[in-house]
Structure 1
Amino acid sequence: MTELSQERSDVCLLSGDIGNRMFDRYKEVAPKRFLNCGIAEANMMSMAAGMALSGLRPVVYTITPFTTTRCLEQIRTGVAYHEAPVVIVGTGSGLSYAELGATHHSLEDLAILRCIPNLQVCAPADSLELEAQLRQAIAEGQPTYIRIGKKGEPDLLTGRTPLAIGKANLLKQGEKILLLGIGPILSEALQASTMLEDQGIQLAIASMGSIKPLDHHFLHQCVAEGYSHWISLEEHHQTGGLGSVLLEWLSDQQISTIQLNRMGIGDHFVHQLGNQKFVRQSEELNATAITKLVQSL
């Protein structure tokens, strides 16, 4: 954001009372283009829509459930309906704030927002994919939602090109079984692939990057290459997210030769408290669970 604010005088940053110290460098460069809107997220989203329709390029940033479901009407009617060039960033997505309970979990955002016309829906796997998507969204001026992790997640896509909205990337070649994931949870899949290699099993892994738009060309390639079993992986409910998108795609393409298994949170609120690693384990959404599923397939 600091680099973008120096490159473009129309870039603005709106924060829902979060990340203030993190943006110290940004505020040194563009102090008049940073607005801490407080815990009034619906108002913040309407402000962003108005700024966008006035020729600016606002980026809205706060914890995921508070920049999505709390201000859904403002996203739908203020941003998407008017095709206002707003970039909505949800930080701490999925179970990143697991220890704070269900109010801070974001396990429904992909399902809800992908139903809204005109809105791109992205879930980058790492900071490299995030930067590419953010730059593209601002350059093209299309309403875009980007859900990201919390902090410190490893870069998984080093050396892969191009990184872009609607562009999937293969992280690892494999045989028969293909895991299609979104977001930082792909690091669990890479750990699982190492465990499986010791047993002579080669698991292919891909980062989809976004579910709207979806990389249709890549999926057709995966069909042509003979992957007979697909696994979707997302830190999101199984309903409505990547797994549902892939099921719809397979149905629309009338492809019946592929078995798809969905890995995500079941149809329940997560009541157990603990850090992200603990809750991923208890919800069977980690490397061990992936390994067991692949072994069963």
Structure 2
Amino acid sequence: MRTRFFADLLTAARSDPNLVLITGDLGFGVVEPFVEACPAQFVNAGVAEQNMTGMAAGMAMAGAKVFTYSIANFPTMRCLEQIRNDVAYHGADVVIVGVGGGLAYGALGMSHHATEDIAVMRAIPGLAVVAPGDPEETGAVLMDLIERGGPAYLRLGKAGERSVHASRPDVARGQAVTLRNGTDVALVSTGAMLPVVVDAADDLDQLGISSTVVSSPWIAPFDESTVRRLASTHRLMVTVEEHSITGGLGGAAAEVLAESGSACPLMRIGVSHKFNSVVGDQGYLREVHGLTRQSISKRVVKRLEDI
């Protein structure tokens, strides 16, 4: 996802001199081509994310289209006040890009685990929140963010996620994407969990359980109509996210189902609502938190048996 983001951002920057990238003194392995091609459109703000965000808001209100970039927890948690007061309140054309959402920086410990960022960002009025599921969705949502502008938060994976879509899907802002249709369970994913969810659906199909797979890159605005439709046509809805089960995709789906009076059971699969004291690479931490294809399919089977 990260590679696709920078390739497409550079293409856009070459034709739009008002597009600016600001980084928090990291990511130079992927940032350097942008710097070399568009040096006047790049700023390294240093390890000063509050300043980076305030600078971005000021530049946007002067006519720039600004992207800020850092490891996911730093451009969100560290400068929440600036995002709320400077960017969102003023409707500034700023896209906050968080790379390595979830447990991608697992070995660096909980300070680098971005597991509450979606919940925090979706609580801010007027701030779009989007977490594409593969490189093709990344290109689609980035096109929207460039054309329609911010304020927005874009959450990216960084682990060389495989493409699930054969080509760039048509992803309108606020809409989910259905990858396959089934009748028993609706698997709704956001962010980099999409390939894992597709694999889990394959396993369930082998067990005779028919699965619908939906990618929900947009968390704000959220595709409430798709959630209601899935609830009315399936025995079980399951949300899967590399994020706390509190306040993210699962929370958004729960809000919709509660207010619609749906009788469809909802199972939220994600990171437990507690600080993570375990370290290790992303694959290991996904196993710890039950975010593997085997764990997801096993939990779905057990829940369907209990319904």
Structure-2 residue corresponding to 1:39:
47
Q: Secondary structure at the match of 1:184?
A: helix
Shift of 1:6: 1.2
Q: Secondary structure at the match of 1:66?
A: coil
Structure-1 residue corresponding to 2:171:
163
What root-mean-square deviation, in Å, do the aligned CA atoms of Structure 1 and Structure 2 show? 1.3
Report the count of equivalent residues.
295
For 1:206-245, list aligned pairs within 5 A.
Answer: 206-224=214-232, 226-245=233-252
Task: Name structure 2 gaps, 5 residues minimum.
Answer: 1-8
Is contact 1:165–1:209 with CA below 8 Å preserved after alignment?
no
Letter in 2 for 1:168: A
Letter in 1 for 2:230: C
For 1:68-79, list aligned pairs within 5 A.
Answer: 68-79=76-87
CA distance in 1, matches of 2:96, 2:87: 10
TM-score (norm 2): 0.93
Structure-1 residue corresponding to 2:257:
250
Is contact 1:113–1:119 with CA below 8 Å preserved after alignment?
yes
Shift of 1:37: 1.0
Structure-1 residue corresponding to 2:68:
60
1:279 and 2:285 are equivalent in the alignment: yes
Q: Secondary structure at the match of 1:165?
A: coil
Letter in 1 for 2:265: Q
Shift of 1:193: 1.8
CA distance in 2, matches of 1:276, 1:161: 27
CA distance in 2, matches of 1:240, 1:216: 15
Structure-2 residue corresponding to 1:264:
270
Letter in 1 for 2:39: P
Runs of 4+ in 1 over 3 A off after TM superposition: none
Letter in 1 for 2:284: F
Shift of 1:143: 0.4
Between 141-150 and 81-90, report the one with greater CA deviation: 141-150
Is contact 1:129–1:164 with CA below 8 Å preserved after alignment?
no
CA distance in 2, matches of 1:220, 1:239: 20
TM-score (norm 1): 0.96
Partner deviation per Cα, 1:100-132 (whole Å, 9 max, x = no partner): 110000011111111111100111101221222
Letter in 2 for 1:39: V
Q: Secondary structure at the match of 2:234?
A: coil
Could you tell me which of 21, 25, 50 is aligned with 1:17?
Answer: 25
Structure-1 residue corresponding to 2:150:
142
Identity of aligned residues (%): 38
CA distance in 1, matches of 2:203, 2:226: 26
CA distance in 1, matches of 2:172, 2:23: 25
CA distance in 2, matches of 1:277, 1:170: 26
